[in-house]
Amino acid sequence: MTNPRAWQYDETMFSGVDFSQAEEVAAYDDMHSKFRDYAKASDEIIQRLSLTSDSTVIDLGCGTGAFALHAAKRCRTIYAVDISAAMLDYCRRRAEQLGLTNIIFRNGGLLTYEHGDELADAAVCVAVLHHLPDFWKQVALKRCCEMLKPGGRFLLFDIVFPSGRDCLDEIDQWLKAFETIVDARLAEEALIHVKNEFSTYDWIIEGIIRRSGFQIDTAEYSKGFQALYICTKR
């Protein structure tokens, strides 16, 4: 991982939850399995991106392998990329346990990963982009676009705030709901997310996606500030 400019944002410095810490990695799947079904969500991604057994897919910010480990059973090659060596090691160990041999692990970030191999059919970026300030989000998505074949597909999922309504009270309720539905630890992580990380407005994300070389095929905003964008490289 090289950082060509002294002023480039240092993506190894986590502004919020520090995923380089072993304790965060160890707790991740237990906490997330309380409100996510990795297999079901991965099947939906595969279907939404029309991925096949011949597809190559880059999972940017793969984490513990929520998508990569499932997608590897359905696609030809998965590039599992993460800035956290600890997350990537965990994902690699899980892949070994599952006997998956078609995942290529790369320690790198949205701003630093160099995809030297063949252009990919698709990329996914789930709950990662909010780690970068807005200026760097566009740098990241342009880089992502360049890793894809013409017509390549891209799925972006993240927490995005609605610009059309005042959502400050809604954020209060949202944070309280984490404590009720999941647990106090996730509620604390959600608070850190809002306070210190870089989730931004819908119009900013949509503008960034378009200016990075993608067309947005669908933009879906659902409960809990969740946003899902299905895109195609123009």
By beta-carbon proximity to ligand SAM, the closer residue of 84 and 200 is 84
Determine if 147 is a binding residue for ligand SAM (CB under 6 A): no
- In angstroms, give the least distance from the CB of 216 to ligand SAM: 20
Q: For residues 91-120, which are near ligand SAM according to CB under 6 A?
A: 109-110
Instruction: Please report whether residue 152 would count as binding ligand SAM according to CB under 6 A.
Output: no
Residue 46 within binding range of ligand SAM, rule CB under 6 A: no
Min dist. Cβ of residue 211 to ligand SAM (A):
19
Q: Residue 127, interface with ligand SAM (CB under 6 A)?
A: yes
Window 65-94: residues binding ligand SAM (CB under 6 A):
66-67, 82-84, 87
Give the integer Cα–Cα distance in Å for 180 and 191.
14
In the complex with ligand SAM, the residue whose CB is nearer, 47 or 163, is 47
Nearer to ligand SAM, 110 or 123 (CB): 110
Q: Do 49 and 120 touch, CB atoms closer than 8 A?
A: no
User: Quick one: 37 or 215, whose CB is closer to ligand SAM?
Assistant: 37
Residue 169 beta carbon to ligand SAM: minimum distance, rounded to whole angstroms: 25
- Name the residue among 186, 196, 227, 48 with its Cα closest to residue 131: 196
* Under rule CB under 6 A, residue 63 binds ligand SAM: yes
Report, in Å, the least distance between residue 189 CB and ligand SAM.
Answer: 9
Nearest to 82 by CA among 103, 61, 66: 61
Give me the least distance between CB of 125 and ligand SAM, in Å please: 7
Smallest separation, CB 203 to ligand SAM (Å): 23
Site for ligand SAM, rule CB under 6 A:
11, 19, 60-63, 66-67, 82-84, 87, 109-110, 126-128, 131-132
